[in-house]
Amino acid sequence: MDSSNCIQGLFATDALLPTGWASDVSISFDSEGIISDVREGDRDSGYRVASGPVIPGMINLHSHAFQRSITGKTQSFSGTEDDFWSWREAMYRSTSEIGPKELERMAYRLYADMVRNGYTTVCEFHYLHHAGDGIPYSNRAEMSLAIVRAAEQAGIRLTLLPVLYCHGGFRNEPLSSHQRRFGLDVNEYLRLLEQLRKEVPETVLGYAPHSLRAVDNDSLAMMLEHRRKSAHDRAPVHIHIAEQTAEVTQCLKSHRARPVEYLYGIAEPDATWCLIHATQTTPTEKERMARSNACVGLCPTTEADLGDGFFDLPDFLSSGGTFGIGSDSNVCVSPVEELRLLEYTQRLSLRRRNTSGDTADSGVGTVRYLQALEGGRRASGQSVGRIEAGYRADFAVLEPDSFTRSDESPDVILNAHVFSGSSLSVRETVIGGFPSTLQGSAH
């Protein structure tokens, strides 16, 4: 990026701050794209005027870029037993044609789409490490670096989560032929992490044990010990935790405990952890996750697509839980579609509209958007998701008159965006102080 083009600030008639909506807000940022000052009621900054309400860009806390390639290909009536596991086989088969070039191209197009939709950070849960035959590339980081380049080209902020994937099941079964592309033992994994730290020092890296079925206790312990002793002891840790009922059954059989219960017995998840798809969890497990401050990563459109079930959000929120949203299989890359589906499944289930008993002044869309920002912020391990000094100048500027009159309140405009919007209701995305040039370009 050419720093001479860096704008010094943005003036928002309406901006969504961590405390809620504020008027006449001058947002200053430095040459690194970090917010240096936020002033309410300041009309004299002379900054460029945003063309609509300004909200923090959303953090996509869970993406598998390569799965974008099967969007549309898995929607056939393939059999009465078609479920997550049969989808997974189709997904595995699709990876055979994907090398570094294909991954980079695919991820770039995907990330560009995310930016157009108002995501400004993506956490890529990356496990496609080796060539199609399972043989490692001569540069073990080849595929990870393809992801880094794709994110740079799209201008999206990245938290890269190289994944540790050791086994084919809870009893340390060997990897299937399709899973060999993902396989690393813990020592190979830690070498990959160290290599990435040297080669792309600017990239934020986290730790990602794939799941309790793919990582044994000793490997998890070694990974966490490495983290504890490193200069990155607060780096985010992401794990798939309990997406499927069959996973819970297998965990009970192997470990005599449900996945969340088991994880808390062998590790100490805290606010730096993100538990992806805590779909199959009991109220006790939800309370435990909430008490530990771990973020729950919800991916409603993928969870719906795969018939996973849905997360009981009111129960979790009433225990003080934190959630964020992710696009996961990338069947959908709109943050508002994730929030909309999340909210609607709660209403359908409870048969009422105010599902969490909130009495906030702001609308449901605004409240859920702020909640998802907080979860995403924690999961990313970055200073993102807030219009506040010290945070990255990453915003989405909303189209003020997509659905409503442009003189409606910003809260009405954001709620229209959450419940009716798309990329078309995002007028501009700003990342690190730079307006993205992707808006309006071919999708």
Give the residue with the Cβ less far from Zn ion, 39 or 88.
88
Instruction: Check if 277 is active-site.
Output: yes
- What is the C-alpha separation between 420 and 423, in angstroms, rounded? 11
Instruction: Check if 210 is active-site.
Output: no
Closest approach of Cβ 299 to Zn ion, in Å? 7
3-state secondary structure of 16: strand
Question: Which one of 255, 277, 411, 417 is the catalytic residue?
Answer: 277
Closest approach of Cβ 412 to Zn ion, in Å? 34
Give the residue with the Cβ less far from Zn ion, 328 or 411.
328
Angle between helices 259-266 and 217-229 (to 10 degrees): 50
Closest approach of Cβ 198 to Zn ion, in Å? 27
- What is the C-alpha separation between 107 and 66, in angstroms, rounded? 7
Do residues 51 and 400 touch, judged by C-beta distance below 8 A? yes
- What is the C-alpha separation between 366 and 18, in angstroms, rounded? 11
- What is the C-alpha separation between 378 and 271, in angstroms, rounded? 7
Closest approach of Cβ 338 to Zn ion, in Å? 14
Q: In Å, how far are 11, 413, 414 from 406, measured between CA atoms? A: 17, 8, 12
Contacts to Zn ion by CB under 5 A: 328
- What is the C-alpha separation between 270 and 369, in angstroms, rounded? 22
- What is the C-alpha separation between 60 and 81, in angstroms, rounded? 31
Give the residue with the Cβ less far from Zn ion, 88 or 140.
88
Closest approach of Cβ 111 to Zn ion, in Å? 17
Give the residue with the Cβ less far from Zn ion, 328 or 399.
328
Q: In Å, how far are 36, 156, 252, 305 from 32, measured between CA atoms? A: 10, 15, 49, 39
Give the residue with the Cβ less far from Zn ion, 115 or 331.
331
Closest approach of Cβ 66 to Zn ion, in Å? 11
- Residue number of the CB closest to Zn ion reads 328
Closest approach of Cβ 62 to Zn ion, in Å? 6
Give the residue with the Cβ less far from Zn ion, 120 or 330.
330
Distance of CA 166 to the CA centre of its chain: 23
The residue among 207, 249, 205 whose CA lies nearest residue 224 is 207
As a whole number of angstroms, the longest Cα–Cα distance in the chain is 66
Give the residue with the Cβ less far from Zn ion, 275 or 426.
275
- What is the C-alpha separation between 177 and 85, in angstroms, rounded? 16
- What is the C-alpha separation between 30 and 10, in angstroms, rounded? 12
The residue among 228, 118, 140 whose CA lies nearest residue 184 is 140
Q: In Å, how far are 61, 348, 376 from 58, measured between CA atoms? A: 9, 25, 8
Closest approach of Cβ 315 to Zn ion, in Å? 23
Closest approach of Cβ 240 to Zn ion, in Å? 5
Rounded to a whole number of angstroms, the distance between the first and last alpha carbons of the chain is: 23
Give the residue with the Cβ less far from Zn ion, 29 or 125.
125
Residues 6+ apart with CB under 8 A from 49: 11, 13
What tokens appear for 341 in the block? 């589906």
What tokens appear for 48 in the block? 């460029």
Q: In Å, how far are 52, 53, 305, 408, 417 from 401, measured between CA atoms? A: 9, 11, 31, 9, 10
Q: Please name the helix (run of DSSP H) or strand (run of DSSP E) that holds residue 223, with its range, or none.
A: helix 217-229
Give the residue with the Cβ less far from Zn ion, 113 or 328.
328
- What is the C-alpha separation between 412 and 410, in angstroms, rounded? 5
Question: Which one of 328, 394, 411, 417 is the catalytic residue?
Answer: 328
The catalytic residues are 277, 328
